[in-house]
Chain A
């Protein structure tokens, strides 16, 4: 099983700041099989990024992502109030697994 480790566990930032979230895989994965999701309290996760770097429909361009093999990054260029949430990476190897999440909180 591929384990995804996200860091940091919590990121404390102010609106307008840049957020950089990491997702590290326990073994190399196909970058096409890496996605990112955003979850706000009481809501279902929402697709942000698929194929490691492709924004989903309706996702603003302040969200970007990159990476390959075992190291992947999600960047939010300037945090808006609605961006404070938990972010999960996910891979589609066998079995499909999620990272444990990074909480982006208001400082």
Chain B
């Protein structure tokens, strides 16, 4: 069974860069799209971006200037960097696997990790 696990600091200072890694186990990172999604406390879900295992990316235009998603196929990991963070970036960050094809869907999710932006 595929398992995703987010890791990274739970607290980031304003104006700094948020960095998270998602480790995929129980399956290969190859052949899939891998996404980051976030959820501010008490609010809804926001798609941040995705990376294909080959390295191609697509980002939410609202965050594009600050987001970088990268992949490390040798370690079955992909990562998120979000620069110049503010309190508005405080959220639970989820990584998820997306099956593309005729009917795309996020079929596996990590448990999520809370990142707070505060000095």
Q: Which A residues are closer than 8 A to B by beta carbons?
A: 1, 32-33, 35, 37, 43-47, 50-51, 54, 56, 88, 90, 92, 94-101
**Which of A33, A45, A98 is B104 in contact with, Cβ under 8 Å?**
A33
Which residues of B are at the interface with A, using a C-beta cutoff of 8 A?
35, 44-47, 50, 58-62, 94, 96, 102-107, 109-112
Report A-chain residues with C-beta under 8 Å of the C-beta of B35: 96
In Å, the complex CA distance between A88 and B110 comes to 17
* A54 to B47 alpha-carbon distance, docked (Å): 22
Could you jot down 24 A-B contacts, CB within 8 Å? A32-B104, A35-B103, A35-B105, A37-B106, A44-B110, A45-B94, A45-B106, A45-B109, A46-B109, A47-B107, A50-B103, A51-B103, A56-B105, A88-B44, A90-B47, A95-B58, A95-B59, A95-B60, A95-B61, A95-B62, A96-B47, A97-B47, A98-B44, A98-B47
Kindly identify which residue among A1, A92, A101 contacts B44, using a CB–CB cutoff of 8 Å: A101
Closest partner residue, chain A, to B100 (CB atom): A92
